[in-house]
């Protein structure tokens, strides 16, 4: 499975938040990208693609989680 640079950037942010025990919603993700000077356009489409690929998941609280293999 190949990922775009923008998808990799989103995954890195989700992973970083998970490492620090923080929760992250799509709204938080947009703010994080804006804060870091990243491109936040089409973020919902990117998140949807990553959800469809099974790379990330959205829990019942609406928080994004990295789906780790195994």
Q: Using CB atoms within 10 Å of the CB of residue 3, give its burial: 0 to 12 exposed, 13 to 18 middle, 19+ buried.
A: middle
Other Cβ atoms closer than 10 A to 58: 13
Cα gap 50→47, rounded to integer Å:
5
Mean pLDDT of the chain: 88
Scanning the structure block, which residue is given the tokens 């994004």? 64
pTM attached to this predicted model = 0.83
Q: Tens digits of per-residue pLDDT, 22-51?
A: 889 999 998 888 888 877 788 999 999 999
Which parts of 1-70 fold into alpha helices (H)? Answer: 5-19, 26-35, 43-53
pLDDT over 80 at 68, yes or no: no
């Amino acid at each position: 499975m190949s990922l775009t640079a923008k998808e990799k950037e989103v995954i890195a942010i989700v992973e970083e938040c998970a490492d620090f025990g923080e929760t992250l919603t799509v709204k938080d993700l947009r703010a994080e990208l804006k804060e870091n000077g990243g491109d936040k356009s089409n973020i919902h489409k990117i998140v949807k693609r990553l959800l469809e690929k099974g790379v990330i998941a959205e829990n019942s609280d609406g928080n994004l989680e990295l789906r780790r293999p195994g």
